[in-house]
Amino acid sequence: DRIGVYDSLLIVINRKVEPIFCVYDSRTFAFKGSFGKIGHGPGDFQFPFFLKEMKSEDDILELYDVGTASFKSVSLNSMFDETSNSVVSEKMPSQLIGSPNLTKIGLNDFVGNMDNGKGLFFRYKGSHDEMKWVEFPATLQQPKLDFTVMNMNRIAIHPQKGKVLSAMTYYNLLFLYDENCMLKKTVQIGHKEIKPTVMGEFQLSEDNYICFREVVSTENKVYVLMQNIEEKNFEKNDNPPSRILVFDWNLKNLETYQLPHYATTFALDS
C-alpha cells in the first residue's frame, strides 16, 4: 500500500497480514527482513503511514498510525530485534487523526489533508493546537453538506520555501500555493477537462477517472504519479501503464517518465 526509501533500505507497508513492514535492499531488492505486529501496545501497529519530515535522522523511521492515534519512531538499526525497544510511541493530536498525507515541519507543526476534509489541505500549529484549512478553489465542485471526497487530493511541500502543491485525484488539475496559502498557479494536464461525478449527496460514480494518486517532492522538483483509469479498475493489475510527471516548483513541466506497467504508488530514491 505504501513504499519508502531510507538510505539503502526499501520499506513496504503491507495491509494484508502480519508482518506489517517488509524490508528490502533498495538497489538489489534482496529481502532483508520484516517487522511489525498488529496490536494496541506501544510497539504495535494498526494502520501506519510514512511521516514525511523536513528534517529527519538517518537511522530513525518516522511513522504515524491512524489506528492507534500515535506517532511511531522505529530504530532502523534494531527493527528486526523483537527483544529490543526499537519502537517509541507518542500520542497523536486528535485533529490529525485520519490524514493519509502528512508532513512534519519543525517540532510540532504539520501540513496535511484528509480525503473527506474541510478544505484542500490544512496547516496545524502544535503549540496552539490550532488547525487552519485552505478553502477549495472555486474551479472545484463546492461541497454540499459535509461530503467532500470528490475533492480528494495529495500534497507535497517545498522543504524551505513553504510552497504547497496539490494534485487532485478526480480532476486533471494541479494547484500551487505559496507559504501564505495563497493560490499562485493552476495547471490542467491534457486538453480535455476531467472532473468527478457525484451521485446523490454521498456517493461518487465508479466511472470517475483517477488522475493523480501520489506526489513526491525535492528541493528543486515535484514528481506526480498520473494514472487516468476509472475508479472501478483501481485494484486491477492489467491497467494501462502509468506515468510520472516531473515539474519544477513553478509548475513548469520538465520531463515525463513512462512506466512499463500500472502503478498505485512510488518512492523517490534521492
Residues 55-94: tens digit of each pLDDT: 666 789 999 999 999 999 999 888 888 777 889 999 999 9
Please report the pLDDT score of residue 183 as a whole number. Answer: 97
Please report the pLDDT score of residue 16 as a whole number. Answer: 82
Query: In the predicted model, is pLDDT for residue 270 greater than 80?
Result: no
**AA letter at 153:** N
Nearest to 230 by CA among 252, 205, 263, 203: 205
* Nine-digit cell string for 246: 516531473
% of the chain beyond a pLDDT of 90 = 78
Averaged over 13-28, what is the pLDDT?
92
Please report the pLDDT score of residue 56 as a whole number. Answer: 65
- Taking only the tens place, the pLDDT of each residue in 147-185 is 999 999 999 999 788 899 999 999 999 999 999 999 999
Cβ neighbours of 69 (radius 10 Å): 15
Q: CB of 102 within 8 A of CB of 64?
A: yes
Integer Cα distance of 42 and 268 in angstroms: 29
Beta bridge pairs of residue 231: none
- Map residue 190 onto helix, strand or coil: coil
Work out the mean pLDDT of the chain and round it to a whole number: 92
Please report the pLDDT score of residue 156 as a whole number. Answer: 95
Query: In the predicted model, is pLDDT for residue 54 greater than 70?
Result: no
